[in-house]
A and B are shown apart, each in its own frame.
Chain A
Amino acid sequence: NAGVTQTPKFQVLKTGQSMTLQCAQDMNHNSMYWYRQDPGMGLRLIYYSASEGTTDKGEVPNGYNVSRLNKREFSLRLESAAPSQTSVYFCASSGTGGLNEKLFFGSGTQLSVL
């Protein structure tokens, strides 16, 4: 059972480089999310997608773009990476984004920007 799959697991970038984090879920969920986790802090929402074809900003969207390619896939792009974007990134999904719905998380991507 794959659940939520993120790639890559690790990435090192130089300042100014671009990259895309990929995320796919096989649970037929409508809602998908990108969070970042900084050392000693909880998760902060970057972007989310309530359904295929829609995306919205979260708490910390600056420097990121997202694409909900289809119902399964939700990618996060860093156009010009900055050291402040060094973090662990988590993709998550939930069925309908309801109040009582838990999130299913991917295993995370550890990104370092030098």
Chain B
Amino acid sequence: AQKITQTQPGMFVQEKEAVTLDCTYDTSDQSYGLFWYKQPSSGEMIFLIYQGSYDEQNATEGRYSLNFQKARKSANLVISASQLGDSAMYFCAMSGEAAGNKLTFGGGTRVLVKP
């Protein structure tokens, strides 16, 4: 079974600084995908970034980048130049062949950006 662990329940970050959100995963699949979603206080789930297990380069989407370390089974999200609107819950998730490509989510990390 695949498992996602987010060890940081909450964190503060100063506006304009970078923040790294930790995510480790466990799977026996060779082929899998890693996702990050943002959930603002309004409640909707917003897709941020995706990394495939065979992708050699780290994924980037604007201010978001995924620090993928396959040997360590980690997929940390880096948000650069934090903005007040980045205050939200962030969820790491993975898909894998053994689970029929269905997403398994971590417990989330709450980020609060301070002005």
Residues of A within 8 A of B (CB): 33, 35, 40-45, 48, 50, 56, 58, 88, 90, 92, 97-105, 107-108
Contact = CB atoms under 8 A, between A and B. Distances in A.
Q: Which 9 A-B pairs have the closest CB atoms?
A: A42-B105, A105-B45, A43-B105, A102-B47, A42-B107, A99-B33, A100-B33, A99-B101, A108-B43
B92 to A, nearest CB: 8
Interface-central residue, A42, A92, A103, A105, by most chain B CB under 10 Å? A42
Interface in B38-88: 43-45, 47, 50, 52
Nearest to B96: A99
B108 A107 contact: no
Interface residues of B, number: 27
B8 interface: no
B5 to A, nearest CB: 10
Nearest to A48: B102
A99 B47 contact: no
Contacts of A41: 107-108
Contact of B52 (A45, A48, A100): A100
A90 B32 CA distance: 23
Contacts of B115: none
